[in-house]
Copies of this chain bind each other. A is one copy, B any other.
Amino acid sequence: MKPDLSHEIEVVPAFYDIDPMEIVWHGHYVKYLERARTALLARHDYDYPKMRESGYGWPIVDMRLKYVKPARFGQRLTVRAEIVEWENRLRIEYLTTDTETGARLNKAYTIQVAVDLSNGEMQYLCPPILWQRLGVQA
């Protein structure tokens, strides 16, 4: 059976996320993605403290966000994150929608690579610990 590599969270933009144009400032979506990614990886018992414990850091090396519609104060947003690559790098795709209407607001992806914390070396293959945690094969 294929493991479920996706997860959804709800985010409600706070007052301090809203800019003078009365929409969520575009940079704050990066926080929403981080929250969704953290929840997804925590479900697979591989959140940030576990990563560190496993001897690897997982810096973001590439990130792209496409903004379709603006989000506003107090609007309920659903952020869905799904792992789509795990062999050489960890690629996660995100879709942010309005919780009530389902309207698409933002599409994004992040790419992370493993870095061996003992020597700072970037890994060109994801370490097996990732596959074990996700229940996948490389």
User: Counting CB contacts under 8 A, is A128 at the interface?
Assistant: no
- Which of A12-20, A81-89, A90-98, A130-138 forms contacts with chain B? A12-20
Q: Which of A11-64 contact B (CB under 8 A)?
A: 14-16, 18-23, 25-27, 30-31, 34-35, 38, 42, 47-49, 57, 59-64
Task: Give A115 Cβ to nearest chain B Cβ, in Å.
Answer: 9
Given contacts A65-B63, A66-B61, A74-B47, contact A18 B15 (CB under 8 A): no
Q: Which residues of B contact A47 (CB under 8 A)?
A: 74
A60 to B23, alpha carbons, bound, how many Å? 12
- The quantity of this chain's copies bound in the complex is 4
Size of A's binding interface in residues, CB under 8 A = 34
Given contacts A15-B19, A26-B30, contact A67 B61 (CB under 8 A): yes
In-complex Cβ contact of A15 among B25, B66, B70, B74 (8 A):
B25
Which residues of A pack against B, CB within 8 Å? 14-16, 18-23, 25-27, 30-31, 34-35, 38, 42, 47-49, 57, 59-67, 70, 73-74
